[in-house]
Structure 1
Amino acid sequence: MKSFIFILLVVFSFVSQTVAAAPCATPAKTLKLATLAPEGTGMYKGLVAVQTKIKAQTQGCVDVQLYGGGSAGDEKDVVRKMRIGQLHGAALTGVGLGQIEPEIRVLELPFLFKDYAKVDSTYGQLKPYFEQKLNEKGFQLLGWAEVGFVQIFSNKPIKSRADLSGMKMWMWEGDALAQAMYESLKVVPVPLAVTDVLTSLQTGLIDGCYAPPLGAIAFQWPTKTKFVTKVDLVMGTGALILANSVWQTLAPAEQTIVKAVISEEAKGMVAQSRTDNQQSMTALQSMGLQIVTLTPEAQTELESISKEVATKLVGKLYPQPILDKTLALAGPR
């Protein structure tokens, strides 16, 4: 009897150790995610939370490795690296997402949204459409992560549309939407990688740039500019995506965890981004920048480019039906 009990204990011990050593339904894996967001920003902190929760909830079967602050390159580089498997996912802005699926840029048309309520309702209703479009291009859309309303940073005050004419403004390399917008405003575009903007402001290669307040501060652009014109030019979109090639290697239970964690954290990132951008406008004043607010007449004149830009990009970035649907959902300003 004692021998039998001893054998049972040995067997139980072996089984327990085996189960503890191999809890994963598939081989353990590490998801390599990139972002331009520097450490310390709300976006990066949200990704750290994603990293921690996924590892804990999958019992270490899925880990996350982060490449922040542009350490993996500009977004064009990040998309290329995802396509060849060097990276597995990213938190991308609209420019990076547009490298994968150009239609998504319809969400960044100038003066499309008048408030966050319209942003939320429009994004929510269009999410299934863009989930399908990105899936067809090899990626999972796991959560929206907007960067905020874009303002204009410059070294001279911009009080009207005429003040923009002839200005040398940064444009993200390959950004067809910014190109169309600049053509309408008669702005001189200077295509640069985002990592080259600060130096270009310092040397005078460009007179200004555009960004949400939080993003501008994170990249130190206000240290080389004197004015910020509050125009809510564009709602800078963004999303957390994962390549299908790695998504398909996850066990179904792991997919459920990864999707739930990222989706929930993305909502938190959006809420934090909105708070941070509002506080950043105050911070800009304390940094010595002058806040320029347009008169209602000047704002209306600037907004008049919206229809022209939207029409110009039909057939280049998106088809007419998705433009019509987006405009209907966003409603009038």
Structure 2
Amino acid sequence: MKKMLSMIIAATFTVGLAAPAAMAADKVMKCGIVTNKDRSLSKGLVEFGKILEKETGGTIKVQVFTDGVLGGDRQTLEGLQMGTIHCTSVSTGPIAAFVPQFDVFDLPFLFKDKATAFKVADGPIGKELLDKLPAVGMIGFNYWENGFRHLTNNKREVKTLEDIKGLKIRTLESKIHVDTWKQLGANPTPMSFSQLYTALEQGVVDGQENPYGNVVSNKFNEVQKYLTTTGHVYNASPFLVSKKFYDGLTDKEKEAVKKAAKEAQTFQRLENDKEDTVSAGTLQARGMKITALNPGEQQKVVAALKPVYDKYSETLGKDLVARMLAAVK
């Protein structure tokens, strides 16, 4: 019990003033996220809180709960709808359970690099999707980033399409992610991120796929031997605020939230770049074997995923998928 209490305390950040000032704050903004406290997305929320408290003169006090203390991605999003959680940053995959069109960001091998992803996320298509969120109880301000996802496993070095077949892979709780890995011959198992380390340790799944930052900060190298730099999905991670909470703010406070979200986006993307720069070396130093798919094998993987594009062109709308494909060129 004491250990559990200490973990919860360690995963909770209160931004800004000391206890007496906290009691004077008009509103408390509770932000939850599944990532480790050292991850760029978690740091982004803390930075958002610092900026917002400064901009509002302390009328809004921000508390950040990391490490999935408030629940997994889906539970956090449901909390935003109910107004029990007030802000988060979540990858587009889980958001698609509420607004299906967000799946267009998770089409495999869609983005060639970050610059392209930023251009699309910060452009008309990104805004079009964010504009759909108020109808489901959330306000989307902009896109932070989780980064490119890579495959890790504890069974074998993955160098070819054939090597993927039969692996039990944990995925996001997202239909398109499950369909992608099924199409490649793996056995996908969607589960909450907060359950992942234990599932890997106990052999419930053979592997998982996540950006470098998550692999490092959660020490997956302790329970995974191999990483293949597939870069199969780029995870934009929208910054979201509960509509119930936002609607209760003054106009001045709403403007402060917008400003803080914009500044925190810049901060978070830079932090994520730092993570990407050092992560591969960190994992290799910890004994993890890192493998790159050669261009020929990557083309085989891409070709094998054509049915996923065909399926989601129908479910998301051919026009949206066509516009996305045009935007990434």
TM range (shorter): 0.7 to 0.9
* CA distance, structure 1, for counterparts of residue 91 and residue 61 of structure 2: 24
Contact 1:180 1:312 in 2 (8 A): no
Match of 1:7 in 2: none
* Paired letter, 2:110: L
1:42 to 2:2 alignment = no
Match of 1:275 in 2: 274
Match of 1:159 in 2: 159
Mapping 1:40-189, distance limit 5 Å? 40-125=38-123, 126-155=125-154, 156-173=156-173, 175-189=174-188
Match of 1:297 in 2: 296
Tell me by how many angstroms 1:62 deviates: 1.3
Match of 1:8 in 2: none
Contact 1:109 1:306 in 2 (8 A): no
* CA distance, structure 1, for counterparts of residue 73 and residue 175 of structure 2: 15
Q: Secondary structure at the match of 2:204?
A: coil
* CA distance, structure 2, for counterparts of residue 41 and residue 178 of structure 1: 22
- Provide Cα deviations, 1:32-86, integer angstroms capped at 9, x if missing partner: 1111122222222222121122112111111111111111010111112222221
- Provide Cα deviations, 1:296-324, integer angstroms capped at 9, x if missing partner: 111111121343212212344x2221111
Q: Secondary structure at the match of 1:86?
A: coil
* Paired letter, 2:241: L
Match of 1:241 in 2: 240
Contact 1:112 1:306 in 2 (8 A): no
* Paired letter, 2:59: C
* CA distance, structure 1, for counterparts of residue 190 and residue 322 of structure 2: 30
Match of 2:8 in 1: none
Match of 1:325 in 2: 323
* CA distance, structure 1, for counterparts of residue 203 and residue 293 of structure 2: 25
Which is further off, 139-148 or 306-315? 306-315
* Paired letter, 2:167: M
Unaligned runs of 5+ in 1: 1-20
* CA distance, structure 2, for counterparts of residue 185 and residue 306 of structure 1: 7
Contact 2:76 2:85 in 1 (8 A): yes
Which is further off, 123-132 or 304-313? 304-313
* Paired letter, 2:128: Y
* CA distance, structure 1, for counterparts of residue 69 and residue 96 of structure 2: 20
C-alpha RMSD of matched pairs (Å): 1.8
Contact 2:151 2:209 in 1 (8 A): yes
Which is further off, 97-106 or 304-313? 304-313
* CA distance, structure 2, for counterparts of residue 305 and residue 274 of structure 1: 30
Match of 1:14 in 2: none
Tell me by how many angstroms 1:193 deviates: 1.9
Contact 1:181 1:305 in 2 (8 A): no
Match of 1:225 in 2: 224
Tell me by how many angstroms 1:228 deviates: 0.5
Contact 1:38 1:218 in 2 (8 A): yes
* Paired letter, 2:160: S
User: Which of the two has higher C-alpha Rg?
Assistant: 1
* CA distance, structure 2, for counterparts of residue 51 and residue 122 of structure 1: 27
With over 3 angstroms needed to count, the CA separation of the structure-2 counterparts of 1:145 and 1:252, relative to structure 1, is same
Q: Secondary structure at the match of 1:151?
A: strand
Which of 8, 14, 29 is the aligned partner of 1:31?
29
1:206 to 2:205 alignment = yes
* Paired letter, 2:235: G
Percent of aligned pairs sharing the same letter: 22
* Paired letter, 1:183: K
TM-score by length of 2: 0.88
Contact 1:108 1:236 in 2 (8 A): yes
Unaligned runs of 5+ in 2: 1-20
Q: Secondary structure at the match of 1:65?
A: strand
Q: Secondary structure at the match of 2:240?
A: strand
Tell me by how many angstroms 1:134 deviates: 1.2
Q: How many residues align?
A: 305
Contact 2:67 2:194 in 1 (8 A): no
Match of 1:314 in 2: 313
TM-score by length of 1: 0.87
